Structure 1
Amino acid sequence: MRLRNIPGAQDAILESPYVIQQPESHKGSWENVFEKKQPIHIEVGMGKGRFLMDLARLHPEINYVGIEMYDSVLLRALQKRHELEENGVVYSNLYFMRVDARLLPDIFDKGEVDKIYLNFSDPWPKARHAKRRLTSREFLARYDQILVPDGKVEFKTDNKGLFEFSLEEVKETKWNLDAFTFDLHHNEEMVKGNVMTEYEEKFSSMGNPICKMVISRQKTD
């Protein structure tokens, strides 16, 4: 269940140095936001941010942007980051945004993003809500507008129905299906270097297989 309506969450987000305010103003100039000019990876629907904070620590050569649309969820990520930085873990390559993912093409210019992570996204189970799924062809079209020519999307979920839907959506588009598995933790090749999310740890400990797919844009640019 999503966390909502924590008193003071909105104010904390507005005042945080970790959150990019008015991200649309940086379209075409994201390289100037970070200390170093490096590839940019984003996570859409980052939740409490653990996955992205782990990646940012492991890969200082990459700049990361975490995107979350719920104030109270983003607040949890801010609290966790503040706690880590108080203990000496400093992230110069990580920022957060509180935006709706439908606005991504208004925020990033063509070719500004190298990779997109989607982790345990809301399945939106009702058929009439299919367009809201982050792996729908509508969202794939948005990612296509901001990724580099050979940019990739990595998607993980424990929801087999959503995963099967996602595979079908890829088939109906011009994306390349580079790799996929219905049981990530038992796939020796795809599990290499895997960084787990909080949901991934929870669901896998319950015996739920984790599905993963990696897709890439066709090089038409």
Structure 2
Amino acid sequence: MRHSFQQELKELNDNLVKLGIMVEEAIYYAINSLRYNKNDLAQQVINNDSKIDDFQLNIEEECTQLIALQQPVAKDLRRIVSISKISSNLERIGDLAQNIAQITLELNPTRLPNDLLQLAEMVYKMVYQTLTAFVGDNIRLARKIARWDKEIDKLEQELTEKLLKQMNKNPQSLTTKNHLLFIIRYLERIADYATNICEETIYMLKGVREEY
């Protein structure tokens, strides 16, 4: 029974990693669809969102089944509960990647601000490193990545203020700038969910809540 449980727990862990890879790919394609105005990449993100949703629901079901049938305790229970919460955060990141892709389809080809592209790269790197911390059970890395959120919040605020000033000076650019404001907000929210995953990874490994 114990061997069977450990095998199921490993499969659950592996499935979360697969979900993470799907979500990471969605962000990568969404950002590149925006950067290079690639509608085919944007459409791929949109088409794959339902697969992410379905996979996340399967993980939640696996977590419920393991808890109900195996009645795990201590660190095993923490890992299962944390995997359930992390999968939910990953699914929300996938939704935000889809939102960015949808805006790309509506956005006329335009030169994107360098600082927006910088924000996008930071957010993608944050998600990638967050998943690396989970896979490696790396508390130190999870803490380091979680601290990036404040830097991303600051850049998001600066970008938002800059675009709002440009909109006031040039009302003709209202629609485009409004699209960019949404993208900035979505990127900031992705960073928030990545921070949640870091916090949950730390809790899973330490059994203590740390907030960033």
TM-score, reference length from structure 2: 0.24
When Rg is computed on C-alpha atoms for both structures, the one with the higher figure is: 2
Which structure's relative contact order is higher, taking Cα pairs within 8 Å and 6+ residues apart?
2
Greater helix content: 2
Greater strand content: 1
